[in-house]
Amino acid sequence: AQSVTQLDSHVSVSEGTPVLLRCNYSSSYSPSLFWYVQHPNKGLQLLLKYTSAATLVKGINGFEAEFKKSETSFHLTKPSAHMSDAAEYFCVSYQAGTALIFGKGTTLSVSS
């Protein structure tokens, strides 16, 4: 069965420092993987997607993620955090013929 585990429920960084949000997936086959962002009192917005093309995926607002099959990971990174990055981030897995699986979310706090 598919599952998605976001390893940190809360990450705090200072503005201008790197961001790392960790996600591990479990699937019998290579799934499609996504990161979504949710700003306070807003709906979710797609940040980036992996669909078995390039393993390093670039998204919006300077975020990127690397698919590592050997580690079953799809961690989200950004070289330099901005105050506007403070939000909740969801790692999502999809496999054809099944439902989307959402991780429980990681709250990113950015301090000045």
Partner 1 sequence: NAGVTQTPKFQVLKTGQSMTLQCAQDMNHNSMYWYRQDPGMGLRLIYYSASEGTTDKGEVPNGYNVSRLNKREFSLRLESAAPSQTSVYFCASSNPLPGEQYFGPGTRLTVT
Cα separation, 112 vs 97, in Å, equals: 44
- Token pair for residue 75? 């961690």
**Closer of 15 and 107 to partner 1 (Cβ):** 107
Q: Is 72 left (phi over 0), alpha (psi -120 to 50) or beta?
A: left
Q: In sequence order, what are the beta bridge partners of 103? A: none
- The residue whose two tokens read 């099944």 is 98
Q: What's the min distance (Å) between Cβ of 70 and partner 1?
A: 22
Q: Considering only residues 49-68, where is the footprint of partner 1 by CB under 8 A?
A: 49, 51
Q: Is 40 in the site for partner 1 (CB under 8 A)?
A: no
Q: What's the min distance (Å) between Cβ of 102 and partner 1?
A: 4
- List of residues contacting partner 1 (CB under 8 A): 9, 32-34, 41-46, 49, 51, 90, 92-94, 99-100, 102-105
